[in-house]
Structure 1
Amino acid sequence: MLLAIEVGNTNMVLGLYAPATDAEPAHLLHSWRLATPLTHTPDELRIAMHGLFALHGVDLKSVDGVAVSSVVPPVDSMLREVLENFFNVRPLFVEPGVKTGLPVLTDNPAEVGADRIVNSVAAFERYGGPCIVVDLGTATTFDVISARGEFLGGAIAPGLGISANALFDRAAKLARVNIRKPGKVIGTSTVDNIQIGLYYGYIGLVDGICERMIAELGPETKVIATGGFAKMIAPDSRYMKTVDPNLTLDGVRLIYERNQDRLKRRPARPEAQQGIHR
């Protein structure tokens, strides 16, 4: 089985995939969400992962491949060490030099985040192009894929959570409120006013950018939403008609599958042969 990992600025998502068979394609069996381990030790991360696997009765030995998309470089070396020792495999990190099948037509392809690459790979594979992926996480990214499956670029905006925190931090008299869909559009209390401004203001941001991108790409452009805020925001958007919460994990899986020849050529690590932490 494959363990696909998405390391974001706030959360780390793990997805366990059953391999493809003659009867069915590869599919997601379990997924878990942890806080991104910026301050965790390797032992703390091992304990957390062991607990998740034990909770669902998953044998560690059943994992024979690991692939990682990370946008948090300080975590990468620790995570690599934990994964190598925990599963006795060399994880594949989505980074320059890895085969993705996605031409990147930007000024500096190397600076495009791994999350945007895997989102684009999965979106084109599942929905075709042209399409726009709106990833509503810590930051909100807009990834634009052409009809031929090329990454054309996009946009980055502060995420809904960051926007709310900035408002609460800088406006002394405004108390923190839950971010949720308000029951009305004309607020009659301070809480109503804040929730309306955050919710509908953010939909306006997303729809405004999508509208301009679609004007350049063409009316056949599909818009796919993913990320932590997607299920909340998408229902009232004019353009985000498809919500795919597992898009990023599926992109990690696809890139892993496209690098099987490369993985087979890599020599096993000596410590992996000794079965450390098996």
Structure 2
Amino acid sequence: MLLAADVGNTNVVFALFDGREIKARWRIATDPRRTGDEYAVWLLQLLQIEGVDRKEITNIIVGSVVPRAIHNLTVLSEKYFGVTPMIAGQADADWGISVDVDEPRSLGADRALNAIAAHAKYDGDLIVIDFGTATTFDAVDFNGAYKGGIIAPGINLSLDALVGNTAKLPRIAIKSPESDSVIGTNTEDQMLIGVFWGYVAMMEGLIERMRAEIGRPAKVIATGGLAILFDKHTDMFDAVDSDLTLEGLAILAERAAQ
């Protein structure tokens, strides 16, 4: 079995793969100081709950946008599983795609993995939107080449900035608005409208501009925790694919093993 670790700015997601099928997944808050031993205490118990012996894990791959976390995950892999992990983007786990941007090495692992998985699963030109700590919009052409994209503040970052820099605005939760009205009659509704519908308008506007610049029909693939929420309020997505980054890790590991 393959153990994949997707290290984001907010969470680390571990997934257990049998081939391309995800058998289990677990999430823990990202903390670069967390040691390999601390990961092991948590992860080995979860494997036991799933009835999986650690010896069944024969390959491990790590994709990380937090470089400091890689060392401790390497310790976890080697000490507790006897496996030297593949690091996405390095050595045998090189991206294997054309990265047509000014500084290819600056491309985040999550964005490269999304591009790999999206091209493997969907035809034609693609726009991949990942709703994470930041929201990224990435253009992947019909040959699978990464052509560039956009980085925008995530919706929760936008809300944190709004609340943190004002004296009287309350903390609210991001949720589906109860109506389509964009004229709020109380402070909380007005904040939700501004953040939520403002974000939808930003997203739809950027997608239209990207499609115009690409100049060919482009499917829009959404991933990340809030993709399902936004999918209920826009018709811009052709597919919502929550496991895109993890599937990119599995594809990369499969290629590296060949």
Q: TM-score range by the shorter chain?
A: over 0.9
Residue 65 (structure 2) aligns with: 71
Q: Give the counterpart of 1:234 among 231, 244, 247.
A: 231
Q: TM-score, normalised by structure 1?
A: 0.88
Residue 264 (structure 1) aligns with: none
Spell out the pairing of 1:125-274 with structure 2 (5 A cutoff): 125-184=120-179, 185=181, 186-261=183-258
Separation of aligned partners in 1, 2:193 and 2:156: 14
Separation of aligned partners in 2, 1:189 and 1:241: 35
1:210-229 deviation per Cα after TM superposition (whole angstroms, max 9, x unaligned): 11001122352000000111
Amino acid of the residue matched to residue 50 of structure 1?
Answer: L
Question: What secondary structure sits across from 2:124 in the alignment?
Answer: coil
Separation of aligned partners in 2, 1:236 and 1:144: 23
Residue 124 (structure 1) aligns with: 119
Amino acid of the residue matched to residue 9 of structure 2?
Answer: N
Deviation, 1:127, is: 0.5
Q: Give the counterpart of 2:81 among 83, 87, 112.
A: 87
CA contact (8 A) 2:6 2:13 kept: yes
CA contact (8 A) 2:15 2:25 kept: yes
Amino acid of the residue matched to residue 121 of structure 2?
Answer: R
Deviation, 1:96, is: 4.3
Residue 45 (structure 1) aligns with: 39
Q: Give the counterpart of 2:94 among 88, 94, 99.
A: 99
Separation of aligned partners in 2, 1:167 and 1:67: 38
Separation of aligned partners in 2, 1:197 and 1:241: 25
CA contact (8 A) 2:200 2:234 kept: yes
1:217-263 deviation per Cα after TM superposition (whole angstroms, max 9, x unaligned): 235200000011111112212312311000000000001111114xx
Separation of aligned partners in 2, 1:196 and 1:114: 33
Deviation, 1:84, is: 1.4
Q: TM-score, normalised by structure 2?
A: 0.95
Cα RMSD of the aligned pairs, angstroms, is: 1.3
CA contact (8 A) 1:143 1:153 kept: yes
Separation of aligned partners in 1, 2:18 and 2:36: 26
Separation of aligned partners in 1, 2:33 and 2:234: 36
Aligned residues: 255
Name the stretch that deviates more: 26-35 or 165-174. Answer: 26-35
- Unaligned 5+ runs, structure 2: none
Question: What secondary structure sits across from 2:163 in the alignment?
Answer: helix
Fraction of identical pairs, as percent:
41
Question: What secondary structure sits across from 1:258 in the alignment?
Answer: helix
Question: What secondary structure sits across from 1:155 in the alignment?
Answer: strand
Deviation, 1:79, is: 1.3
Separation of aligned partners in 1, 2:171 and 2:160: 8
Residue 8 (structure 2) aligns with: 8
